[in-house]
A and B are shown apart, each in its own frame.
Chain A
Amino acid sequence: MPSIERSPKTNEQRPTSLSSALAAFPRGTDLQSIAFVTTTAKEASEPRRILLEFPPAIQRRALLLSPGDPLAADLIILTVPSNPATTEESQTTAESEMLLSQLRIWVEAAAIAGQPPGHLMTLQGAQIFWNQSRLAIHAPAERLETIRTALLEAAFYEAELGNLERTLGAAWPQLEADAPLAFEFEERAIKKRKVLQQRFQQVMLLRARLARIAPQIHCPHVHPPTLASQVGERFRERTRLVHRHEILAEQLEVFEKIYEACGQRASDYVQTRSSNTLEWVIIVLLVSQVLLAGFEILTSLSP
């Protein structure tokens, strides 16, 4: 089963274009490159700042990458603080629209072919643009940090779900080809046993990955709500994380059933073949004995 992972650009390729992009935004704008690494990869974490530690089951943490960092970035976050001196009412519509337009352009510049170029979410004065690899937040400065953390978490789950969807999506043709073996196994399919075993293991791994993020995707809304919690919840709703998680679970169930049946059929077949071989060995020995006895009788009857 091929694993289709997003392939983000390394920071070495990015700094010039991203740094130059900052010049177009108001003062206080910040750009952060973030990598999601496993907690076991200590050498990756050590010199870098940990932005977020995910729950133990997920075993991931979000690291802040410095410019020129050799580690590949999974997400780039652009934070633009709202001017504290001005209110929404006092800010001119033209300025606001220009900024939003700039954010949109920045996000859409990293759009992946075949995917929506970007999404917009507005909540209590915070404006958020995002796609799979970029996230732009325009919010009051004092709330930026909490909003960023909430979105960082939600974006990770969305990316993880997207990876699972792509991996599973690519595996459907294989499943269709393997489906007949769930009903009947034959000698010619013996050489596919190892491949089937690997595919079953991969399905189980996908199942495990899905299960690990389930508590965070299905978690109830926080009460009393904060802006950050609401942004995270809205993000989950907009990206339909709950629905997609359920669909993935259903699809994985189909994979699981078929490969489980394949495994059962293969195991039954091999066991039956072994006992058949033993029976055939006995038959061959008996036939040899009968042949010798018959031959003896036949030759003794000859004139």
Chain B
Amino acid sequence: MRYSSIDILRMIAIFVMVFVHFSENLAGYTPRFVGLGAPLFALLSGVSYQLWVSGQQAAGRSEAEITKISVRRGLFVLVLGFVFNVFVWFPEELFNWDVLTFIGAALLFLNFARHLPLPVCVLIAVMSLLISPLLRGLANYNSYWTTGYFETDLTLTDLWVGFTTTGYFPFFPWIAYSLAGFVTASILFADSQVDDNVEAPEPPPVWPTMLCGGALVLSAAGLLMARPYLPSMIGQKLLGGWTMFPPTIEYVLATSGGGLFLLGLMHQLVDRNPAALRQTRLLNIAKTFSRYSLTIYVLHHVAHLWPLWIYGLAMGVEPTYFWQHATSLPAAFAWASVFLAICYCIFNRIGPNERHGIETWMRWLCD
């Protein structure tokens, strides 16, 4: 079952990421809404995975088949992440642990987690959040970020540390987003696949999801405000203020809480609102961006980074010479808008129900 609320949220996540990346990489400006797109994207990966599993089970697929497809899909996204690092960035960036490698790993982990009771999934999410500052402390996080960017040596230890703790999107605590999405979808969309033999149940209430999300946001706000007054052991080492690199407890709580709140709110306002569901034109826009989100994620990097590298080489300077000072901020935003408009035109022409792009390759190879 397809939910328009998820399409809308995924579209928002993609829009945020496109505008942030264009402005950062072309104009060297970090917008205020930086760090909001990727958490939503990761959260929705968990939601979508749960809905996909429910759909497969309802279609009568065996557990073994679902596992095989899940593993293949996870590996596909993981490998795609490495290919992306090499070709969009540079070969030396192979192990920078970007969002695609994380989502690939998360899909592999979710395939394991789907067999666990939901409270255990929640516990894993909480533990991953709590141990991540400790792991960062043990790994000496700042030593991997001396230039403001993640740098690592090609040693087994550094690869492991980068993947779990110090990379751009480390497994700990980012897996908390995917698990939060997975658990929420299990509860919120419990009526998505109704057994023919059971009377259609009442749709689960939305307010617990929104309440949970709101509580997480409030607790993050409370921690941020209380942090200066807390002992340095907690305030400095366990908490870390509002930062995406590293993803602090406050940051993860606020962004995951905000995502959950938005998910509940949109589900109530869109999926359970017949008037909203009649806005097919607007919903089709969201559906188009949502269906091609993976393709758009890869393409938008290619669209704004490759010209920089090529132009740099053509000018006889370092490929990264124009990185972060190629255009002004308004121009960067304009390019981002043009890119999204072109994407919409192309993918809308193909049709939201047609399958092309990287998503099609994944299905062809994995399903």
Contacts and interface: CB of A to CB of B under 8 A. Distances in A.
Interface centre among A273, A288, A296 (most CB of B within 10 A): A288
A296 B135 CA distance: 8
Interface stretch (A10-18, A67-75, A274-282): A274-282
B127 interface: yes
A192 B116 contact: no
A191 B120 contact: no
Contact of B161 (A192, A280, A298): A298
A288 B128 CA distance: 8
B157 A280 contact: no
Nearest to A181: B197
Contact of B157 (A191, A273, A296, A299): A299
Contact of A280 (B57, B120, B198): B120
Interface string A255-289: 00000000000000000010011001100110010
B330 interface: no
Nearest to B130: A288
B238 interface: no
Contacts of A276: 117
Given A188-B57, A288-B127, A291-B131, A299 B197 contact: no
B138 A295 contact: yes
A273 B119 CA distance: 11
Contacts of A174: 197
Contact of B140 (A177, A292, A299): A299
A219 interface: no
Interface of B, secondary structure class, is helix
A174 B201 CA distance: 17
Contacts of B57: 188
A177 B127 contact: no
A191 B54 CA distance: 14
B25 to A, nearest CB: 32
Contacts of B139: 295, 299
A299 B127 CA distance: 20
B127 A284 contact: yes
Contacts of B164: 295
Given A192-B198, A280-B117, A295 B135 contact: yes
A301 interface: yes
B87 interface: no
Given A296-B138, A299-B138, A192 B197 contact: yes
Contact of A277 (B119, B131, B190, B197): B119
Contacts of B165: 295
A284 B125 CA distance: 10
B90 interface: no
A165 interface: no
A178 B195 CA distance: 12
B197 A298 contact: no
19 contacts: A188-B57, A188-B195, A191-B190, A191-B198, A192-B198, A277-B119, A280-B117, A280-B123, A284-B123, A288-B131, A291-B131, A292-B131, A292-B138, A296-B138, A298-B160, A298-B161, A299-B139, A299-B157, A299-B161
Interface of B: 57, 116-117, 119-120, 123-124, 127, 131, 134-135, 138-140, 155, 157-158, 160-161, 164-165, 190, 195, 197-199, 201
Interface of A: 174, 177-178, 188, 191-192, 195, 273, 276-277, 280-281, 284-285, 288, 291-292, 295-296, 298-299, 301-302
